[in-house]
Amino acid sequence: MTLPDTIEAAATALRAGEVTSVELTEEALRKIEAMNDDVGAFIAVSERAMEQAARADAGLAAGVDRGPLQGIPFGLKDILATKDQPSTANSLVLDPAWGDGYDAVVSERVRAAGAVIMGKLVLSEFALGPPDEEKPFPIPRNPWALDRTPGGSSSGTGIAVSTGMVLGGLGTDTGGSVRFPAAYCGHTGLKVTYGRVPKWGCVPLGYSLDSIGPMARSAYDCAAILDVIAGPDARDVTASTAPGEDYLGGIDRSVEGLTIGVPRAYFFDHEQLDSEMQAATEAVIAALADLGARIVEIELPHSDLAKEANTLTMVSEAFAYHRTDMASERWTDYGAKTRMIIARGAFYSAADYVQAQRFRSWYAKAAASVMAEVDALITPTIIEPAALSAENDLAKRLTQPSYTGPFNLLGYPALALPSGFSSDLGLPLSAQIVGAPMSEALLLRIGHAYQQQTDWHLQYPTGVLEGSVA
């Protein structure tokens, strides 16, 4: 029997009696057993997965329906507290007592929705540092080509979704950390508006930038997850007090009449932008035009500086969190690259941080002026397909453009969508749809409309994993 491979299809099949959560969970466990040693997605697999699945099936049989996530194999980035499993942030530095015995807000909400939490997923150390083979954590590898980066920091979630180890999961995004793995691993990922999803119970990276967002195969699936995790919580003082929305309610509406802006400067004309990535994004633009959207060219000035301001803000705020540990004997407990990235924060002055925030205010006004004229923006998500892991060094990360970081600086929501594959190695390509604050429902609607015309998001990794992936 071929099992459904999206939340949407699985939820329908569960309610039709065509499949059980136990069967979905058994298949997820089989894939984890077959592939995790190669791709490094899970830090820890839950021993209670089958128990959770049986409980979900029993609930549905008794007429207790908690929504689309009930009975769905699901993964959590190991930066989110879970009451039944330790949290590590992929680091030896985090106090083992952190998160002990309680759930993060989002873990609590996903659990209450009846999802089967399969375990804790690999990430960049403290959501920032690249993998370090000298530390006792799995090394994440791109399932489309094991010598390529899967993106970070939510690498484990990206890998698990793309291979079908889970049907959905959560990542965090401070400079692109939901969208990078989605783009490199070939699925959909949503960076939410700052404050849209409560962060209580999540290890911080950049206090004024962090967000928690859904990662799944499709825009529809991301909407189903966001329905569960969005909305205020008094434990997070940065969370919006606005109630969550029905993100699935209008997802089938047409995009006809929407105005979508294309910021050519920087996002489309940068010399480092891969030509196939650009062409794939142009094809998404054409597809949306065919669906009735109006395409206009706009300017979002100084987005190159926005990338720098986001990086400076992120590293400075990370250093503020880690300063005491980094000044102690814990220095070598950090991965070699992690400690070098965070330590850069010590070299930024208060004046540097203030200047970044001054620019942030200016850029926010410029972006708001643009968004007053359009419904959404479209850009490539990344500049190139997944690079060789050996070449994914700090110098490259600092000097190459970022098409994600500017929108973290603004706190805007942004949806990464699969847009094709490279012609040489068959690596995923990705486009990004960006909206004004709290416009997640609109972005998901646009993404869903596009995905009704394409099947890029439904493709599984091939080649190195042939025979392991259903």
DSSP state letter for 44: E
Say what the pLDDT of residue 462 is: 77
Nearest to 311 by CA among 394, 445, 409: 409
For 139-148, what is each residue's pLDDT tens digit? Answer: 999 999 999 9
Question: Is 18 inside a domain boundary?
Answer: yes
Reported confidence tier of residue 220, pLDDT bands at 50, 70, 90 = very high
φ/ψ bin of 75: left (φ > 0), alpha (ψ from -120 to 50), beta (otherwise)? beta
Say what the pLDDT of residue 465 is: 56
φ/ψ bin of 2: left (φ > 0), alpha (ψ from -120 to 50), beta (otherwise)? beta
Which residue bears the tokens 């997070």? 236
Question: Is 145 inside a domain boundary?
Answer: yes
Say what the pLDDT of residue 470 is: 40
C-alpha 185/C-alpha 125 separation (Å) is 19
Mean pLDDT of 83-94: 98
φ/ψ bin of 295: left (φ > 0), alpha (ψ from -120 to 50), beta (otherwise)? beta
Say what the pLDDT of residue 392 is: 76
Nearest to 106 by CA among 230, 239, 7, 190: 230
Question: Is 466 inside a domain boundary?
Answer: no
CB atoms within 10 A of CB 286: 11
pLDDT at residue 69 greater than cutoff 90: yes
Q: Between the CA atoms of 185, 157, 449 and 67, what dihedral angle is there, to the nearest 10 degrees?
A: 160
Question: Is 468 inside a domain boundary?
Answer: no
Say what the pLDDT of residue 396 is: 77
Which residue bears the tokens 């959404």? 376
C-alpha 213/C-alpha 189 separation (Å) is 7
- Would you call 346 helix, strand, or coil by DSSP? helix
- Is residue 121 within 8 A of residue 157, CB to CB? The reply is yes
Residues present in the chain in total: 470
Say what the pLDDT of residue 467 is: 44
For 427-442, what is each residue's pLDDT tens digit? Answer: 999 999 999 999 999 9
Mean per-residue pLDDT over the chain, rounded: 96
Structure tokens at 205: 């990276």
Mean pLDDT of 156-163: 98
Which one is catalytic: 21, 31, 46, 77?
A: 77
Q: What is the DSSP string of 197-244?
A: S--TTB--S-TTT-EEEEEESSHHHHHHHHHHH-S--TT-TTS--SPP
Question: Is 463 inside a domain boundary?
Answer: no
Mean pLDDT of 4-13: 98
* b (16+ CB within 10 A) / e for 300-335: bebbebbbbbbbbbbbbbbbebbeebbeeeeeebbb
Question: Is 349 inside a domain boundary?
Answer: yes
Say what percent of the chain tops pLDDT 90. Answer: 95
Mean pLDDT of 14-42: 97
- Is residue 315 within 8 A of residue 418, CB to CB? The reply is no
CATH number at residue 114: 3.90.1300.10
Beta strands 259-263 and 294-298 are parallel
Beta strands in 39-91 (DSSP E): 42-45, 73-77
Mean pLDDT of 222-229: 98
Say what the pLDDT of residue 399 is: 83
For 358-415, what is each residue's pLDDT tens digit? Answer: 999 999 999 999 999 999 999 999 999 999 998 877 667 778 999 999 999 999 999 9
Which one is catalytic: 162, 177, 240, 430?
A: 177
- Three state DSSP letters for 405-469: HHHHHHCCCEEEEEEEECCCCCCEEEEEEECCCCCHHHHHHHHHHHHCCCCHHHCCCCCCCCCCC
Q: In what order do the strands lie in the sheet with 42-45?
A: 42-45, 116-121, 73-77, 168-173, 211-216, 188-191, 414-421, 428-434, 376-380, 259-263, 294-298
Q: State the total domains in the chain.
A: 1
Which one is catalytic: 21, 153, 155, 468?
A: 153
Nearest to 442 by CA among 197, 281, 251: 251
Listed in sequence order, the residues at least 6 apart from 400 whose beta carbon sits closer than 8 Å to its beta carbon are: 272, 383
Judge whether 153 counts as a catalytic residue.
Answer: yes
C-alpha 299/C-alpha 266 separation (Å) is 10
Listed in sequence order, the residues at least 6 apart from 328 whose beta carbon sits closer than 8 Å to its beta carbon are: none
C-alpha 280/C-alpha 344 separation (Å) is 36
Question: Is 299 inside a domain boundary?
Answer: yes
Structure tokens at 307: 């990338």
Judge whether 177 counts as a catalytic residue.
Answer: yes
For 251-299, what is each residue's pLDDT tens digit? Answer: 999 999 999 999 999 999 999 999 999 999 999 999 999 999 999 999 9
C-alpha 58/C-alpha 50 separation (Å) is 12
For 305-319, what is each residue's pLDDT tens digit? Answer: 999 999 999 999 999
Judge whether 77 counts as a catalytic residue.
Answer: yes
Containing structural domain, residue 353: 7-458
- Is residue 401 within 8 A of residue 187, CB to CB? The reply is no
Rounded to the nearest 5 degrees, what angle is found at the Cα of 409, between the Cα atoms of 183 and 223? Answer: 50
Question: Is 467 inside a domain boundary?
Answer: no
